[in-house]
Structures are given as C-alpha cells and as structure tokens.
Amino acid sequence: MRRLLSLLISVFALAALPALAATPPQPKRGEPATAVFAGGCFWCMEHDMQGVPGVLKVESGYTGGHVNKPRYEDVTRETSGHYESVRVTYDPAKLDYGFLLYRYWKLVDPTDDGGQFCDRGPSYRPAVFVNGPEQRKIAEKSRAEAATRLKTGKMVTPILDLKTFWPAEEYHRDYAKRHTLNYQAYRMGCGRDLRLKQVWGG
C-alpha cells in the first residue's frame, strides 16, 4: 500500500539525493549525538521520534546494505540489502541513548523479522544500528529488558553495526507533516497502532 502511494508521489518529485553525511564520531560533552534505527515505514518512525523532548532532528534514509547512494526504487526492489531507517540527532544533555532505545521499542513490533505491519520484505525489518561498543552495550541491555515487557511473541530484532547512513530523497522528508491526510490514511490502513497495542499492551 505505502509503496504504491510513494511511487505515485515520486513521479512528480525531484528526487535529488543529498550529499553523503559521514558517520559522526562519538560526541563530546555539549555536542549533538546520533542514533540510527530501522522500524518499517520511515515516514512513521520519523514522525514518532520527532516528538521526543531533546531530539533535534530526525532524518529518513537507508542503511545496512551494499549499494552506494541508494534510491528508494533500489531499496524497494529488495536487492540493495538496505533497511528503511531514521537517523536521530539529539542533545545528550537533555536525552540519553537509553531513553531513545526505550522509545524505539515501543514504536515497533520487535517480534516480526519479515517486515513491519502491512509493509513486508527485508527493507522493512526492524533493527538497531549501533555506532561503536558503547552504544552496543547499552542497546543489548535495552533489548533484553524490552523482551521482558512483550505481551506476545519473541524478541527477534537484531543489533547491527552502523556503517553508512544514506539520507532519503527530499520527497520522503517530513512526509507526515507535508502530506497529513495521505499519511494518516496509510497509517490507519496499515494497522500499525493496533498491532503495537497487541505487542506492548495499553
């Protein structure tokens, strides 16, 4: 459903890929930090992460694959190895990585390794991409704790090393804000929120 809608939109969009932003080093005190997550539709992940206090920016993109400068069409063909993902830039003085992970788990179905909700295929799988041993240690602890809170299923979401994050095309950015009605129709039709209640309760 979302793929068809996005492909129709892309016909009318100038999908110029921005210059590659290199993976940043570990932040010093007072500098912004980054975290990368895959959780199915990056429109939804971008929207849901933007509301977290301390988050400065959320970018949709692609990571985890073998194709350089991937485009949306490359990723949806499921031949690039990339995941749809988001890069979250945040202020570590106001928000720590552990809390971002806590928020992440509540936004995904970590028991599903075949995609997320109505979006199926490898590019829609959930994953945490870590930038170094410190993030990995925190992520592994967070995953173990999240597994104990599941109301159904078994934790299968991997923690993977981050290599390169490729920003998505312009027409994908802030999609929920710029195309509110289309976004709401997609999200409801995909059953995302209903499934999250089943997985996490509430």
Asked if 200 and 150 count as a contact pair (C-beta separation under 8 A), the reply is: yes
Instruction: State the Cα–Cα distance between residues 58 and 35, nearest whole angstrom.
Output: 10
Q: 104: closest CA among 25, 6, 35?
A: 35
Type of residue at 188: M
41, 44, 118, 190: which one is catalytic? Answer: 41
Determine phi and psi for 26, rounding to 5 degrees.
-60, 135
**In terms of DSSP bridges, do strands 55-63 and 166-167 run parallel, antiparallel, or are they unpaired?**
antiparallel
41 catalytic per annotation:
yes
Q: Which residues are catalytic?
A: 41
